[in-house]
Amino acid sequence: MHEHNPASLRIGFIGSGRVAKALAWGLSGSGHSVVAAASRSLGSAQQLAQRIAGCSATADAQDVVDGADLVFITVPDDAIAAVASNLVWREGAAVVHCSAATEVAALAPAARAGAWTGGFHPLQLFADPEVALAGLPGCTIAIEAEGGLLRRLERLAAALGCRNMHLPPGCRARYHVAAHCAGGFVIALLKQAVDLWASFGVGREDTIRALLPLLRGTTASVERSGLAQGLAGTYSRGDIGTVEKHLAELAHAGPDALHLYCELALLSIPLGLERGGYDEKRADAMRALLRQALQA
Ligand SMILES: NC(=O)c1ccc[n+]([C@@H]2O[C@H](COP(=O)([O-])OP(=O)(O)OC[C@H]3O[C@@H](n4cnc5c(N)ncnc54)[C@H](OP(=O)(O)O)[C@@H]3O)[C@@H](O)[C@H]2O)c1
């Protein structure tokens, strides 16, 4: 892990799905040597390799380990430990996985053989490798590694146009839960909005079309002004009358919708206070209404 010339580090991928393709193409495009790819099916490895000069597709993952200095294990989370334990690792080589929640200890067989092990998690959605590749610049990559591997992975993140953050050992699941708050759970909240509007006849597509500009405005507001100053709406102002109307309405929508609303509202109040939108007395009055609704 001492090379500083990007091209002198031989990189390989085991598992040639969405993340592997985006990373391999991005790294190759930034002057790195992606030399080998394997996958469960040779066809996937070939798809990855065909866009990279000098990259060979192989049916045998051991070829990747033997031919690369740094191996990315980019298989589904549940397969990482099994893949790592079925291969023969050598001292001084390096291997990382790209899973958010899987501990680096899943790579213990490689570490026992004297290889460097780490985590390299790009904090982005990879539904399509082309789209993901275009969206990588500006993203954060969470890196868990030590010594020379840490510095090497930081340089790889920078080469992809990404920021990096360091993850201490043992906190990956917490890190991953937080990522859901800005990712998949936002979609779950949009589904909640779809259900509410469906009750007075608005279709899913129309609801999404109407709410997406609001979602974009919200993220832009946070980007510009931060969490508290970026907050808008009822809980930025402390409109108690509106809170009462919301709660009365949700009492008919079922306990799940009411519960979700109250929990999110209670999380919003400290931000409204920080923003200076109201005082503690008004915050307490709103909290009392919400807690009462939660207990009803
Ligand atoms: N998708 C995301 O948004 C995202 C974001 C950040 C991190 N990640 C992480 O990145 C990793 C890969 O995820 P992904 O979304 O790229 O998954 P994916 O698109 O499903 O790709 C996984 C690849 O691994 C291959 N594979 C499965 N089992 C294998 C095995 N035992 N040996 C060798 N290859 C095997 C698959 O098989 P075939 O050969 O049949 O194609 C496929 O090409 C995961 O750890 C995931 O948590 C994903």
**Can you read off the two tokens belonging to residue 227?**
């969490």
Name, in order, each residue with C-beta under 8 angstroms of 34's C-beta and a sequence gap of 6 or more.
11, 12, 13, 24, 27, 28, 52, 54, 55
Ranges of each domain in the chain: 6-168, 181-295
Query: Residue 7: what pLDDT?
Result: 77
- CA-closest residue to ligand 1 atom 19: 17
Name, in order, each residue with C-beta under 8 angstroms of 278's C-beta and a sequence gap of 6 or more.
237, 238, 272
Query: Residue 145: what pLDDT?
Result: 98
Candidate of 18, 77, 125, 167 to mutate for ligand 1, largest count of ligand atoms within 8 Å of Cβ: 18
Q: Is the pLDDT of residue 72 over 70?
A: yes
Name, in order, each residue with C-beta under 8 angstroms of 88's C-beta and a sequence gap of 6 or more.
62, 65, 113
**Distance, CA 185 to ligand 1 centroid (Å)?**
22
For 29-65, the pLDDT digits (tens) are 999 999 999 999 999 999 999 999 999 999 999 999 9
Band (pLDDT 50/70/90 cuts) for residue 1 is low
**Distance, CA 16 to ligand 1 centroid (Å)?**
7
- CA-closest residue to ligand 1 atom 20: 17
Residues in contact with ligand 1 (CB, 6 Å cut-off): 14-20, 39-41, 44, 74-77, 79, 83, 97-99, 121-122, 125-126
Closest alpha carbon to 290 in 251, 255, 247: 247
Query: Residue 272: what pLDDT?
Result: 98
- In ligand 1, the atom with minimum distance to the C-alpha of 122 is 6
**Distance, CA 157 to ligand 1 centroid (Å)?**
19
- In ligand 1, the atom with minimum distance to the C-alpha of 19 is 16
Query: Residue 4: what pLDDT?
Result: 67
CA dist., res. 111 & res. 33, Å (int) = 24
Average pLDDT, the chain: 96
**Distance, CA 133 to ligand 1 centroid (Å)?**
16
**Distance, CA 65 to ligand 1 centroid (Å)?**
17
Q: Is the Cα dihedral 20, 24, 27, 30 positive or negative?
A: negative
CA dist., res. 21 & res. 37, Å (int) = 10
For 131-145, the pLDDT digits (tens) are 999 999 999 999 999
Query: Residue 244: what pLDDT?
Result: 98
Q: Strand (E) positions, 123-248?
A: 140-144, 163-166
Candidate of 16, 19, 42 to mutate for ligand 1, largest count of ligand atoms within 8 Å of Cβ: 19
The architecture of the domain spanning 6-168 is 3-Layer(aba) Sandwich (3.40)
Residue 278, SS3? coil
- CA-closest residue to ligand 1 atom 27: 75
